[in-house]
């Protein structure tokens, strides 16, 4: 089975604007998703790591998605995240996303308990789909061992494939490990393998990867879309590396939200759900002065 063409490209992992009471601000989130799509992202992934997905309840996430759909957001271009430690929560999200018409669900393995015994991961994914009622929605596996505690090796991927078969259409690899990413591409040529790291995006695509699901498209959507097809000597490569280094060095997600608050001239975008806190505005201004310097903008 060949990789579906609609899965290829850059998927923006959207930040989640929140209200003063730390509820999801669906109006701002919908507008931001539409901006990313208009400026080069092929699809959008809400409520993943960049979207503070673990900080919101099942009800909050499904209600927000339903409100955005009612307001006209194209759900066929949505790949929302499933970050849940419980089987029931994961299943409810998968069912809800399917009912809303989302393109796929990006599912993080269950966290908290360590599980090394062969078969346990496959048991979880199979149980999620069964409990969800076997909905008509594709699955992307989410490889982020820093949060889940589990590394998706080719053997682990195969464990899930053995249980879910063609329902699994891809994997997001957030490790930033180029060799490991290439190994996944080689082992599973029929799966859409995405990197989460701009610095290796073009090399992953050249190796047969599908593209990227990442956070930098929040603030540089057009450049990230261009980067997917860039040559190794394209000046954008060095610029992208400098950008992700600067963002990660000062707080990652909180920097992205601060930059968006500045870009949109809307301080509400900088709000974080506790225990996370915003980056001071002065720090954001200094980072922006570096990232948006004239020489970088002209590249």
Q: Which residues contact 4 (CB under 8 A, 6 or more apart)?
A: 169, 192
DSSP state for residue 159 in the 8-state scheme = H
Instruction: Report the 3 state secondary structure along 205-235.
Output: HHCCCCEEEECHHHCCHHHHHHHCCCCCCCH
Is 106 a domain residue? yes
* pLDDT, tens digit (0-9, with 9 covering 90-100), for 184-229: 999 999 999 999 999 999 999 999 999 999 999 999 999 999 998 8
218 and 46 Cβ atoms separated by less than 8 Å: no
Residue pair 20/267 in contact by the 8 Å Cβ criterion: no
Residue pair 73/38 in contact (Cβ under 8 Å)? The answer is no
Counting beta carbons within 10 angstroms of the beta carbon of residue 120, is it exposed (0 to 12), middle (13 to 18) or buried (19 or more)? middle
| Residue 117 counted as domain residue | yes
- Tokens coding 26: 């669906």
263 assigned to some structural domain? no
Q: How many domains does the chain have?
A: 1
Residues 291, 165: Cα–Cα separation, whole Å: 43
Nearest residue to 52 (alpha-carbon basis) of 269, 253, 293, 277: 253
Q: How far apart are CA 48 and CA 43, in angstroms?
A: 14
Residue 251 counted as domain residue: no
Question: Which CATH number is 180's domain given?
Answer: 3.20.20.70
In a domain, 296, yes or no: no
User: CB under 8 Å to 23, separation ≥6 — which residues?
Assistant: 60
DSSP code at position 151: -
Specify if 237 maps to a domain. Answer: no
Answer whether residue 253 is part of any domain. no
**Quick one: angle between helices 154-164 and 120-131, nearest 10?**
40
pLDDT tens-digit profile, the chain (299 residues): 678 888 999 999 999 999 999 999 999 999 999 999 999 999 999 999 999 999 999 999 999 999 999 999 999 999 999 999 999 999 999 999 999 999 999 999 998 887 878 899 999 999 999 999 999 999 999 999 988 988 999 999 999 999 999 999 999 999 999 999 999 999 999 999 999 999 999 999 999 999 999 999 999 999 999 998 888 888 888 888 888 888 888 889 999 999 999 999 999 999 999 999 999 999 999 999 888 764 444 44
- Residue 119 falls in which region: left (phi positive, over 0), alpha (psi -120 to 50) or beta: left
Q: Could you give the 3-state DSSP secondary structure of residue 157? A: helix
Domain residues for the domain of 168 are 5-230
């Amino acid at each position: 089975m060949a990789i579906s063409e609609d899965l290829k490209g850059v998927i923006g992992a959207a930040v989640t604007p929140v209200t003063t009471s730390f509820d999801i601000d669906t109006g701002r989130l919908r507008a931001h998703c539409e901006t990313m799509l208009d400026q080069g992202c092929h699809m959008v992934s809400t409520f993943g790591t960049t979207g503070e997905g673990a900080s919101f309840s099942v009800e909050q996430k499904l209600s927000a998605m339903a409100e955005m759909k009612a307001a006209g957001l194209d759900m066929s271009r949505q790949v929302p995240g499933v970050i849940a430690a419980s089987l029931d929560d994961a299943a409810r999200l998968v069912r809800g996303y399917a009912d809303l018409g989302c393109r796929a669900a990006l599912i993080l393995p269950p966290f908290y308990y360590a599980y090394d015994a062969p078969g346990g991961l496959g048991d979880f994914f199979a149980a999620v789909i069964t409990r969800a009622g076997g909905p008509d929605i594709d699955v992307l596996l989410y490889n982020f061992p820093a949060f889940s505690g589990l590394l998706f090796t080719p053997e682990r991927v195969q464990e899930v494939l053995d249980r879910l078969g063609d329902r699994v259409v891809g994997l997001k690899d957030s490790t930033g490990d180029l060799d490991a990413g290439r190994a996944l591409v080689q082992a599973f040529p029929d799966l859409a393998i995405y990197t989460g790291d701009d610095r290796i995006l073009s090399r992953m695509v050249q190796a047969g990867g599908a593209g990227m699901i990442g956070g930098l498209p929040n603030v540089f959507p057009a450049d990230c879309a261009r980067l997917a097809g860039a040559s190794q000597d394209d000046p954008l490569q060095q610029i992208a590396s400098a950008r992700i280094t600067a963002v990660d060095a000062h707080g990652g997600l909180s920097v992205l939200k601060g930059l968006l608050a500045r870009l949109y001239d809307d301080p509400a975008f900088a709000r974080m759900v506790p225990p996370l806190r915003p980056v001071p505005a002065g720090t954001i201004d200094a980072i922006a002065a570096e990232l948006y310097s004239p020489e970088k903008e002209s590249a």
